[in-house]
Amino acid sequence: MKEELKKRIIKGPDGFEFEVDPIRDYYCEARPAVEPPAYMKIVEDLFNWARAESLWILGFGTGCGAIEMRPLMTPRFDAYRFGVQWRPTPRQANLFIISGYLSVKTLKRAIRSYEQMQNPKYVIGLGSCTINGGMYWDSYNTVKRLDDYLPVDLYIAGCMPRPEALLAGFEELKRIIRAGEGEGANRYAENFDWYKANQKRVIHDWDMPDYNW
């Protein structure tokens, strides 16, 4: 565990000594909770329609697939006309695109970023690497299937998929959300222990809280 996460005694400016346990004091210990649907189906449908029209992507490129997002956010393909935009922080985003191969080191950051995003949130696996490891199928340091670690709503196959494939993927994700099937965050909360067990099986130096938001 990292030095700054260890329990320690700190002396305040007034000379008073107190104990700090960063994992307990700086993070909330509560587990993620399942968010129930709205009180009427027609209201939930309205919400889902609204959600589908506002896909804000977390600008976190995990692998080479991130290069396909640059033409998408510029005038050539202009994804903004579909209600899709990129945001710099997890707090402002609701769509996490895992763009390509995911190394164990990056998986750690991806989990933290995913957990910090606000509900409802969606995950797209982009490229063959997220589906079955792709060309990194025998690599010692990349995960082979993304849905063991994060709840994936949609995969876009290809190595690399073209920006057009991503646009088609966004349309498909919108259809999934409008149909009320974009329940990744709830799946994550329901199967939290299963996801955590999988994550801890590959991340050998687990030095973060189990759930951080």
Which residue among 3, 14, 29, 138 contacts another protein (CB under 8 A)? Answer: 138
Token pair recorded at residue 112: 């933290």
Least separation in angstroms between residue 130's CB and another protein is 10
Region at 5 (left for phi over 0; alpha for psi -120 to 50; beta for the rest): alpha
d(CA 181, CA 151): 12
Contact, 154 vs 146, CB < 8 A? no
Q: DSSP letters along 125-169, please?
A: EESHHHHH-GGGTT-SSB-S-GGGTS--SEEE-SSSPPHHHHHHH
Q: Does 140 bind another protein (CB under 8 A)?
A: yes
Residues 141-180 that bind another protein (CB under 8 A): 141, 143-145, 148
Other beta carbons within 10 angstroms of residue 105's beta carbon come to 11
Using CB under 8 A as the criterion, what x/- string covers residues 47-86 for binding another protein? ----------------------------------------
Using CB under 8 A as the criterion, what x/- string covers residues 97-136 for binding another protein? -------xx--x----------------------xxx---
User: Which CB, 167 or 203, lies closer to another protein?
Assistant: 203
Q: Which residues contribute to the site for another protein (CB under 8 A)? A: 104-105, 108, 131-133, 137-141, 143-145, 148, 198, 201-206
